[in-house]
Structure 1
């Protein structure tokens, strides 16, 4: 690798010394931009054994990367319960161990450090693995999952605008200032002299304003970074709740940093509450995204470029003692498809930021072209199309599905679920764009009542696939008002008991439990959760905006 190692200039020799170990991001550098770009798949929220709550021995860094990129899968122990036969390897992965005390090194050996030092170890291990010939062409970046103050979590990748190196000093400073769960004894340089006194945990943890300050700090110092809230509805009604007001404020402060959320959360094998340890979840999708006319539609109705993503949030699938379950391995169940123009990790982030992406559970689809055309102009996901008032626009949807996904039972049991993949219907959803609201309405304006399913497409609409395996739908609609269009699709029919009603996803059935369970009951629960997830699979696209141009009166 030819990326130069770089350390940021600091006023402390101790910090400069620590900075010497900054490693270059694990991506094969190639500054040549691809004119046409390509679809890449990956995710930005996955844990390794360096997270305190991912203590299974099979969670070492190499195993997680092997799963994501489908290399040396025979190294995964049988107890890891990975099913990675179908679907493509990921192209990119952002590692997001908790921004807290780190208990272990990348191989799982005891090593107590702060996160910023753990990331140095993580990067060194990635470089070692890549130097041995592994993960060629794959883009791997060490970020972290941040406990936001007064709110739930966010995935963060701090990126240096002037370098491809991971800015360890920046992570160090961010952790000092904005991590209430990293204890004081994990810091050993002159941080107070460099960055000021550190608030106590009791001062920091409930202070939502410090979260907004941190977003501003990223914007001022590392504007190429991202901070994307995870499982935003997880704490609804309790401490740490993320509201639409919070999302609006973060997006206002730094629209190029807080440009989306994990609306299709990971941790889909969780038994506590429901998928992703959430109650407000429908078809495995956060209520903010799943409910037509809800929070996401309210944000889009303001014209905000605020996108939806999916991740595994992987900690382990089934614990080695066969008592707990959490989530699927990276590339096993959920993935994002992102259009990327270039070969570096920053290009991936630009692709995410552009909105030209869609997210999928269970490999329901593996390709999607979604466009809106008017005359000789065309817009794709994340873009705006200007259309004359009253003129017809043509919406085109082309998609492919694989024949199989990665479903296998967790253990032997009778089931009607199979790994065959078939889309039942696709919904075209649209809402009006009326402009940004006044800040006085940020908390109260939670819906977009103009949003509805304008058309439901089935196999009668898309017919047989073409020679490349694509199904095609064309739909014409008059440009009447400023609006957006987005897609969702599922393998389920419109009225499936326990899963859908009139085409809308129902709240997921929970398999939470109380009291002591027998080994047989644990296995039954694991299988019920897994079967439910593969019974109810969905994809969601990001939106296309149509801006109506009114005709000028002729005089």
Structure 2
């Protein structure tokens, strides 16, 4: 795919930040701002944290096909394979073997298959295995228990134990007598039926793998009754080092009901984005308003793209991408622990449809100390803070000329506006209080919406804008941007994304259905940054 810079004309002065992206749409090495104003070398990597292969019983795409699309066609740096933790697992090529435990399918098929393909084709890519867990009484939750060569056996044993203890998608008879006896001898009992069991699972991860595991809420409000905001807070309280990701920009976008959010959802998706993130002043803002470090992601949730007459999700990297800043030089070996540290930092932005392919977003005080996404800038009350935003737009995106022709090359519509969203940060809500049940942050607002008249293009091809404010209280600032004007019928009202319309197949015309789904999705593009915090002292 050719990616050049299309003129989408960004505001005034530019701070001394170096390039954060290049025209190849995937990498750059640059100095990104850090503590005390010093610079560190690093680069952006792109990837997908929620990808199924045919190992999952409800998925159809073979492992080799998934990796080929994600890496060869769309240039991702990493893919996290996250198959279902259930007792109906298959092999890598969609063969039903009568139902396998996830652990057995992982060790017998997935890991050997990945090792073979990595050695053959993808030595410079990161491919690692996580799992999608059916959280008791709730929804799907991604869990990654990471390992290296030295502790691989130990971590795989932990995954097997997790499947026994905390998954309800299996039976005792699925496990060997030897394993059952060993767990019984250790006093391990099953905890897979209640919200308290879900908390126990996250507590177990926090106590045993705080530095080497993570969890992510997948498609959080696909069902309206999956969670309350209080339950989300309890999960985060149980494992703050583990639960720090939420899939706000959900997968399964190539679906008539975008994201597979139907009538049982909280309110569908808005611009393809779960209401947890898309609602201004909603759940995400409520959590950020307590200072909770929970970061947004965008993933494919790929199971298959089309299986006549059905449609499900784009391939990894085709429509949704995460851009995450990792320390070190471009070309350095990327391992899962390095990626985990980078994800935990919060320095990530997420995109639909390659609307942008580079973003610098920073806050700077009068001394030149600056912070990027996930960071906290401490300033004196009354100090002037400068916000700098720089982005690039590729000339093309991956929209096919005709669905499944694999001609991934269409004109990028460009960015119409970028919203700078600000919310107040207060005390962390106490368990059992009214605030703990509150899913709103009423202070959240769009402080400034930038359009082409507010930005200019610098000599590196970035569109640049700045904004200044006087720091009077603790706050956070985050960005969202869109190709859409502020009031587009059925899509935006005063700049706020609206519920995505359902596409219905008529007269069994699945080809038209595929085109209609694709047209809907590429007409309605968004990007979201993670927040930067400001703390004020006297």
Matched, 1:144 2:131: yes
Instruction: Report the RMSD for the aligned CA atoms in angstroms.
Output: 2.2
2:160 partner SS: helix
Partner of 1:467: 459
2:449 partner SS: strand
Contact 2:219 2:248 in 1 (8 A): yes
> Structure 1: how far apart are the matches of 2:450 and 2:537?
28
> Structure 2: how far apart are the matches of 1:199 and 1:410?
53
Listed one character per residue, the Cα deviations across residues 88-108 of structure 1 (whole Å, up to 9, x for unaligned) are 511111100100024421133
1:427 to 419, 422, 435: 419
1:143 partner SS: strand
> What displacement does 1:467 show?
2.6
> Structure 1: how far apart are the matches of 2:91 and 2:428?
46
**Which of the pair has the greater relative contact order for Cα pairs under 8 Å at 6+ separation?**
2
Q: 1:75-224 to 2 correspondence within 5 Å?
A: 84=73, 88-111=74-97, 112-120=99-107, 121-132=109-120, 134-160=121-147, 163=150, 165=152, 167-196=155-184, 204-205=192-193, 207-223=194-210, 224=212
> What displacement does 1:199 show?
7.1
Listed as ranges, the gaps of 5+ residues in structure 1 are 1-33, 71-83, 551-555
- TM-score, normalising length: structure 1: 0.83
Listed one character per residue, the Cα deviations across residues 331-371 of structure 1 (whole Å, up to 9, x for unaligned) are 10001000112532111011111100000000000000100
Range that drifts further, 183-192 or 502-511: 183-192
Closer, same or farther: CA 187–264 of 1 in aligned 2, 3 Å: same
Partner of 1:541: 529
> Structure 2: how far apart are the matches of 1:162 and 1:354?
25
Contact 2:143 2:214 in 1 (8 A): yes
Contact 2:165 2:192 in 1 (8 A): no
> Structure 1: how far apart are the matches of 2:80 and 2:216?
12
Listed as ranges, the gaps of 5+ residues in structure 2 are 1-38, 329-333
> Structure 2: how far apart are the matches of 1:358 and 1:164?
31
> What displacement does 1:303 show?
0.6
> Structure 1: how far apart are the matches of 2:322 and 2:104?
29
1:351 partner SS: helix
1:283 partner SS: coil
- TM-score, normalising length: structure 2: 0.85
Range that drifts further, 352-361 or 110-119: 110-119
Q: 1:58-73 to 2 correspondence within 5 Å?
A: 59-70=61-72
Closer, same or farther: CA 274–385 of 1 in aligned 2, 3 Å: closer
Contact 2:192 2:198 in 1 (8 A): no
1:266 to 240, 251, 266: 251
> Structure 1: how far apart are the matches of 2:400 and 2:454?
31
Partner of 2:312: 326
> Structure 2: how far apart are the matches of 1:215 and 1:433?
26
Range that drifts further, 438-447 or 528-537: 438-447
Closer, same or farther: CA 512–176 of 1 in aligned 2, 3 Å: farther
Contact 1:226 1:257 in 2 (8 A): yes
> Structure 2: how far apart are the matches of 1:266 and 1:472?
30
Greater share of strand residues, 1 or 2?
2
Partner of 1:75: none
> What displacement does 1:466 show?
2.1
Matched, 1:50 2:55: yes
2:477 partner SS: strand
| Count of paired positions | 481
Closer, same or farther: CA 163–219 of 1 in aligned 2, 3 Å: farther
> Structure 2: how far apart are the matches of 1:164 and 1:533?
42
Contact 2:473 2:535 in 1 (8 A): yes
Listed one character per residue, the Cα deviations across residues 430-472 of structure 1 (whole Å, up to 9, x for unaligned) are 0000120111235521100000000000111112x22321111
Closer, same or farther: CA 366–273 of 1 in aligned 2, 3 Å: closer
Partner of 1:250: 235
Q: 1:435-446 to 2 correspondence within 5 Å?
A: 435-440=427-432, 441=434, 443-446=436-439
> Structure 1: how far apart are the matches of 2:227 and 2:391?
34
2:231 partner SS: helix
> Structure 2: how far apart are the matches of 1:336 and 1:529?
22
Closer, same or farther: CA 304–186 of 1 in aligned 2, 3 Å: same
1:407 partner SS: strand
1:375 partner SS: coil
> Structure 2: how far apart are the matches of 1:199 and 1:164?
25
2:322 to 336, 343, 348: 336
Partner of 2:8: none
1:407 to 391, 396, 399: 399
Matched, 1:454 2:439: no
Contact 2:62 2:92 in 1 (8 A): yes
